[in-house]
Structure formats: C-alpha cells, structure tokens
Structure 1
Amino acid sequence: MYSLLLSIIYIAFVSLGLPDSLVGAGWPVMHADLGVPVSCAGMLTMIIAACTILSSLASERLTRRFGAGMVTAFSVGLTAAALMGFSTSHSFLVLCLWAIPYGLGAGAVDAALNNYVALHYAARHMNWLHSFWGLGASISPFIMSFALSTDLGWPRAYRIIGLIQAVLTVCLLASLPLWKKVNPEPPRRSSISKESTSSDASKADSTHRPDEHVTLMQAVRIPGVIPVLLAFFAYCGLEATSMLWSSTYLVSSRGVDAATAAAFASLFLLGITVGRFLAGFFADRIGDRLLIRYGFATVAAGAVMIALPIQTTVLALAGLMIAGLGSAPIYPAIIHSTPLHFGEGNSQAIIGIEMASAYVGSTLAPPLFGALSAWLGMWLFPIYIALFVALGLAMSESLNRIKRRSAVRKD
C-alpha cells in the first residue's frame, strides 16, 4: 500500500505541472481567436495567481477538516473542470470566469500535497516529486504544440489535459482509504541530524494541537516565519524572472541569436527538473539547510557568469544552465524543512502561507523587472537575479540563526 500511495502522489505532482505552461504555450493563437490583445494574458494570469494565493491561505483549514487526500482529489477535480471550461470558451470574459476555479484548485492541492510529503516522507522524495512537477510543466507545451500543428486547435489541448486531470481525480478518490492506512516512511536519521537544532526548536514552536486551526496572524508571529516567507518570495521571484526574461536578455544584451537563446532559456527549466532528480540521491545525507545554502550560492555563481562582460557568449549560456541547477533543490528543501523548523502542528498553516508568498513572488517579480528594464536597460537582468539571491540567502540564514538561538535557550 505504501508503494501504491507514493505512486499516486508522484502522478499527482505531474498533474500539478500540467496546467502551469498551457496558457503561455497557447496564448499566441488564443488571443487572436478570442479577439483580444496579447497583453490580456497578464490579466488572465493575475486572476489565476490571485485565486491560487487565496486557496493556499485557506488550505490549512480545509486540510484539517477534510484531510490531505480529499483536498487533493477535490482540487484536481476543480482544475479538471476549469480546463474543460477553457476548452469550451469562445470569449475572453468566459475564460476569465473559468480562471477562478483554475487558480483555486491549484493553490489548495499544492499546499496540501507539499505538507503531506514534508510530514511523512524523506527529503529525497520531496526533490523527486518536484522533479515530476517539472516533467508535467514540460509535457503540456508539447500537447499544445501537437494540437496546434495538427489543426485540432488550442481548445482540444485544454480538453486533453482536462481529461487527464479527470482520470487522476477518480484515482485519487479511489485511493482515499490509503491516505489514512499507510504507515509513511520516516525521514532518514542522517537527514534529521543535519537539522537537529531546528528539530529541537520546532518542539517549542509547535504550540498547537494537530487538530487545532492555526490562524494567519498566529502563524506569522512564530519566530522565523517572516524570514522563510521572504526567502520563498525571493526564490520564486528569481525563478519566474529567469524563465520569462532570460531569452530576451541573451538576444538584446549579449547578441545571441533568437533560436539559441530560446533553447538555452528552456534549459533553465530543464536544469531545475534534472537538478531536483539528482538532488534526491543525496538530499537525506546533506540535509535541507545545506541544500538551500548551496543552491542559492550556485545560482549566484550562475548570475556572475551571465553578467561577465566578455565577448564570448558561451559563459553566459553556461551560467544560465548553472543557475537552473542551483535553483533545483531550494523550493523542495524549504518545504521539507518546514515541519522541522516550526513543528508538525503548525506546518500546514505555514506551508499554505509559503505557497501564497511563492505565488506573490512569481507574479510580481517578472513585471517589475520588465518595468525596470524598460527604464534602465536589459543589462540589469543578472543584477536583478543576484539581488533576489542575496535576499533569499540572507533570509534563510536569518532563519537558521533564529532556530539556533531558540535551541540554545531551551537547552
């Protein structure tokens, strides 16, 4: 039963990634069919992001009441319904209405699944599961490309993904008894030893019973929560900015031809996916704290390589790949360390807020860079990334200091 539930969770993480790239992949054709400007994509993604943030903040209350399995099944079902709605939409207004359940389903399932895995599985599974998210995010553009190239049209791509999500919903509903019966795998002792001070401190921070609701204000008052939220904001800001603007930077500031720039920009996401798969093999031995520290340091090295003013573009292209590999373990490690840092009674509430902070970063950082680059120039790109790296690393180290001081006081 353990292997069966784990397999279902892996498939669920693929489903998390499937809808994430569909709007971007299909919008060049969608906006023309719907008769709206290209810029309307921003309005659509903002609606999805806002609803995702709201459902992330509500996930703690929902999960405590209905359980992680039921919340996951319902959220995937909600996303499936929204995707089917997209496939039947003939106006932009209707598309915006379907974007509401689209975002609501994404936020709740993300927080519920991440907390369940952080509580019950070793660090290697958290990295591998997020690698499977990257797999899903990489598959959906190919489905959209196939639908467009074969004249099936963009609605058929949404219908295909919606049907996949519907099948997964049925599988999740059938698996609900497993979520309570399966004895999860405990984290390896080596992984715990790397976080021993955080684990000790978390016992003091876990002031709530597992069945007691933790409000937003109660959660943010826990020592260390504000730094971890800022670290998450910084990481997701740099990731989203790199995915959106790296190709434009390579073309406009470094003279790379458009085809090569597009290929290497896609390799940033591939680097994250491959990096998470590789990180899973040593995550238990290294521990979450060092994975976050080394990850940010590697992204910083990649940003320096991108920024170096030398004639050859090879270093900048390699720097983009290295930044992707460095980004890989940061997100999973922050999530996986949350119960150790703040206690199991608080983890669902805090992970929900972390998800909200992540979506705020990924929503606001790219357009902010767009505005700054229009004013100052595209050369700002590696510096902008470096600033987010500095913020993320400073906040994660601040969290470590807070937990060490807390552990010393308890001793």
Structure 2
Amino acid sequence: MTTLLLLIIYLAFISLGLPDPMLGAAWPAMQIDLGAKLETAGLLFMVVASGTIISSLASGRLLKRFGTGRVTFVSVLMTAVALLGFHFSPSVIWLMVFAIPLGLGAGAVDAGLNDYVAIHYKAHHMSWLHCFWGVGATLGPIIMAQFIAGDNAWRDGYLTIAGLQFALVIVLLLTLPLWNKVTKLNNIKNNEVVDNSNEIANEENNENTKPLKIKGVKLALAAFLFYCGIESTMGLWGSSFLVEVKGLSAATAAGWVSYYYGGITVGRFITGFITFKLSNRTLIRGGQLIALLGAVILVLPLPSIFSLTGFIIIGLGLAPIFPCMLHETPTRFGKTHSQTIMGYQMATAYTGSTFIPPILGFLASNTTLGIFPIFIVMFVAAMLFGSEKLNVIIKKRKQNQGFNTSSAAL
C-alpha cells in the first residue's frame, strides 16, 4: 500500500515536470506563430511562477484542511485544464490567462508532495522524487520537439501533455482513499522516525530566536534564489540561445534542452544512492563545481556540439544541489526552526524562478542572447561563493559548540 502510493507520488512529480520546460522549448515556434516579442516568454514565465509562489504560500492551510491527496488531485486538474487552454489560445493574452491556473496548480503539488515525502518516507526518496520531476522535464521538450519538427505544431504538443495530465487526474481520483490509509499507517509507525540532524548552538534552538536572525540563513536563501534562477533560465532561454546564437533549428534546440533536463534526471537518480556514502555538503559543492564547468564550456567559442556537452554537464551538476540543500536544512539550522526556514527557502526558490529568467530576457532583447552563458557563469559562481561562506559559518559554529561543551565539562 505504501509503495503503491509512493509510485503515484512519483507519477505526480513527473506530471509536475512535464510542462515546466515546454514554454522555453516551444517559444521559438510560438513566437513566430503569435507574432510576439522575445521577452514575452519571460512575462509568461513570470505569471506561471507568480502563481506558483502564491499557491505554495497558501498550501499549508489547504493541506491541513483538505489533505494532500485532494489538493494534489485538484492541482493536477488545474494544470491539465491550463495546458489544454494553451492548445486553444488564439493570442498571447489568452496564454497569460491560462498561465495563472498552470502556476497555481504547480505550486500546491510541489509543496504538498515534498512535505508528504519528507514526513512519511525515508530521506533518499527526496532525491528520487526530484529525479522523477526530471523525467517529466526531460520528456516535455522531447514531445514538443517531435511536433514542431514537422510543421511547427506546438499546439499539438501542448494537447498531448494535457492528455497525459488528464490521465493522471483519473488515477488520482481513483486512489484518493489510499492517501488517508497510508497516513494512518505511518502515524502508527511514528515512533520509528529518527531525526539525524546535528544539534547546534542554543540560540538557534531557542524558540524566541527569529529564524532570519540565525547566522547563515540569508546565505542559504540566496543559494536557493540563485539555484532556481539558473535552472529556470537554462530551461526558458536555452532553446532560444541555441537557435539565435548557435544557428540550430528550433526542433534540434528543443531536443538539446531535453538533454539538459536528462542530466538533472540521471544525476538525481544516482544521487539517491550516493547519499549513503557522501554528505550533503560534499554533493552540493561538487554539483556547483560541475555546473560551473558546464557553464564555462558554453561561454567558450567552441563548435555547436560543445554546447550540447555544456548543457548536459550543467544538468548533471545541478542535479544534487536542490534536494541536498533541502535535506541539509535541519543540520544547518536546527530542528526548532527548520520548518519555518524550509518555507522561506521554497518561497525564495520560486522568487528566483519568477524574476531571474525575465531579467535575462529583458537584457537579451536590448543586447543579444549571447549574454546567456555569461549570465549562467555569474550566477553559478555566486551560488558557490555563498554556499562556501555558509559552510565556514557552520564550521565555526560547531567549533564554538565543541569549545563550550568542553568548558562546561570542566
């Protein structure tokens, strides 16, 4: 029963990933068909991400009132209707309208399922959960590429994804009773849940301490901002960069972007096993260095095939960062404030997804999309710098804790 529900959750996360990269992959064809400006994709993306932020902030109340199963069912239904709306949209205005439910549905699913897996399943499932998001994000551009390769039929691509979403809606409807049964079963086993987070300084465990006042929290928030900004920028503008700067066809570019998401997917699947051997901190640092290498490859004046290599390397590098940073939260800041800080991190992550890609779109429309790889290098470097500075703070905190413990013993 528990395994069956986990499979359904994985399917739901595939559906969450399917529409995320489709706008970026289809935009070169959509832009011509709709007679829109380049930066319009950034505005559409901002509407979707804004809806995601709103529903994520409201998800706590919704989940408590209606339960994860019902919220997931309604959210996937909203995304299915929105994607169907994209298929029929005659203009950019209608795309803007349907972008609202697309974002609202995605945010509630993301927050609800992450919370459910964190509470009811073991830690390594978090990496695999986000791996399945990558499966959807990889399939999305591949499906779209197949449709736009022939006659730029991007609308049929959205119709296909909408059909897959409606199929999942039926599965979720039929399995609604399963959520309560598994929740009750896991509540009985609650005593088996072990908190492996390290104890930190007393002031961080003090309930009166404001979470944002804890040293390092703001650096952690900045890392989430940069990470989601990078991931979303790659997905939204990667295809346009390959078409306008590297001279590839829209279909080929969409296919290449799918390899980027494939790198994230494969990387997260492998990370689920590596977490048994390496610490979150090591995986985060290694991922950032690998992503930086891939971004540098995009900057260098190399043949187009190296751009494909750069996209894959960036995807592999980004793979462990997000789930490992989420899982590291209690270790970094203590269990007293981890839930609140987790909410701050998710909100900041969505903020990065909302505003950073449109900023690049605005700058590129006034200059050139050639700034795309430079932009990525700068943000990966900033994320790495902030993470390493946070590691120094945490190391000093542990050293001080050890010194205080020794003094107390004396």
Give the AA of the match of 2:259: L
Counterparts of 1:143 and 1:379, CA distance in 2: 27
Give the alignment's TM-score, normalised by structure 2: 0.79
- Contact 1:44 / 1:99 at 8 angstroms: preserved in 2? yes
SS of 1:170 mapped into structure 2: helix
Q: Is residue 2:173 matched to residue 1:170?
A: yes
Counterparts of 1:66 and 1:204, CA distance in 2: 36
Partner residue of 1:59?
A: 59
Cα 1:21–1:218 shift into 2, 3 Å? same
Counterparts of 1:343 and 1:70, CA distance in 2: 31
Cα 1:164–1:19 shift into 2, 3 Å? farther
Partner residue of 1:211?
A: none
Partner residue of 2:353?
A: 362
Cα 1:174–1:94 shift into 2, 3 Å? farther
Cα 1:316–1:52 shift into 2, 3 Å? closer
- Contact 2:295 / 2:310 at 8 angstroms: preserved in 1? yes
Q: Is residue 2:171 matched to residue 1:179?
A: no
- Structure 1 residues 91-100 or 140-149, which shifts more? 140-149
Q: Is residue 2:298 matched to residue 1:294?
A: no
Partner residue of 2:103?
A: 103
Aligned length: 394
Unaligned residue ranges in structure 2 (runs of 5+): 406-410
Note the C-alpha offset of 1:293. Answer: 0.7
Q: Is residue 2:331 matched to residue 1:327?
A: no
Give the AA of the match of 2:177: A
Query: Per-residue displacement from partner, 1:41-99 (whole Å, max 9, x unpaired)?
Result: 44333221111112222333444555544443443344344445556656654543333
- Structure 1 residues 334-343 or 383-392, which shifts more? 334-343
Give the AA of the match of 1:366: P
Note the C-alpha offset of 1:336. Answer: 1.9
Counterparts of 1:294 and 1:249, CA distance in 2: 26
Note the C-alpha offset of 1:330. Answer: 0.7
Counterparts of 2:332 and 2:42, CA distance in 1: 36
Instruction: Give the RMSD, CA atoms, in angstroms.
Output: 3.8
Partner residue of 1:390?
A: 381
Note the C-alpha offset of 1:326. Answer: 0.9
Query: Per-residue displacement from partner, 1:351-391 (whole Å, max 9, x unpaired)?
Result: 33323322222232233334444566555443322221122
- Contact 1:121 / 1:184 at 8 angstroms: preserved in 2? no
Note the C-alpha offset of 1:294. Answer: 0.6
- Contact 2:141 / 2:257 at 8 angstroms: preserved in 1? no
SS of 2:101 mapped into structure 1: helix
Counterparts of 2:258 and 2:282, CA distance in 1: 27
Counterparts of 2:344 and 2:229, CA distance in 1: 16
Partner residue of 2:408?
A: none
- Contact 1:299 / 1:326 at 8 angstroms: preserved in 2? yes
Query: Per-residue displacement from partner, 1:74-131 (whole Å, max 9, x unpaired)?
Result: 4334434444555665665454333322211211221222233334444432222111
Note the C-alpha offset of 1:289. Answer: 1.3
SS of 2:44 mapped into structure 1: helix
- Contact 2:25 / 2:253 at 8 angstroms: preserved in 1? no
Superposition map of 1:220-259 within 5 A: 220-247=212-239, 249=241, 257-258=248-249
Cα 1:404–1:369 shift into 2, 3 Å? same
Counterparts of 2:252 and 2:158, CA distance in 1: 30
Give the AA of the match of 2:354: T
Q: Is residue 2:53 matched to residue 1:50?
A: no
- Structure 1 residues 388-397 or 62-71, which shifts more? 62-71
Superposition map of 1:4-403 within 5 A: 4-24=4-24, 37=36, 40-84=40-84, 86=86, 93-143=93-143, 153=156, 156-157=159-160, 159-171=162-174, 173-177=176-180, 178-182=182-186, 183=189, 192=196, 199-201=198-200, 205=204, 218-247=210-239, 249=241, 257-258=248-249, 263-309=255-301, 315-344=306-335, 346-373=337-364, 377-403=368-394
- Contact 1:74 / 1:169 at 8 angstroms: preserved in 2? no
- Structure 1 residues 348-357 or 87-96, which shifts more? 87-96
Give the AA of the match of 1:220: L
- Structure 1 residues 319-328 or 337-346, which shifts more? 337-346
Counterparts of 1:307 and 1:26, CA distance in 2: 24
Counterparts of 2:120 and 2:270, CA distance in 1: 21
- Structure 1 residues 63-72 or 320-329, which shifts more? 63-72
- Contact 2:138 / 2:265 at 8 angstroms: preserved in 1? no
SS of 1:292 mapped into structure 2: helix
- Contact 1:115 / 1:335 at 8 angstroms: preserved in 2? no
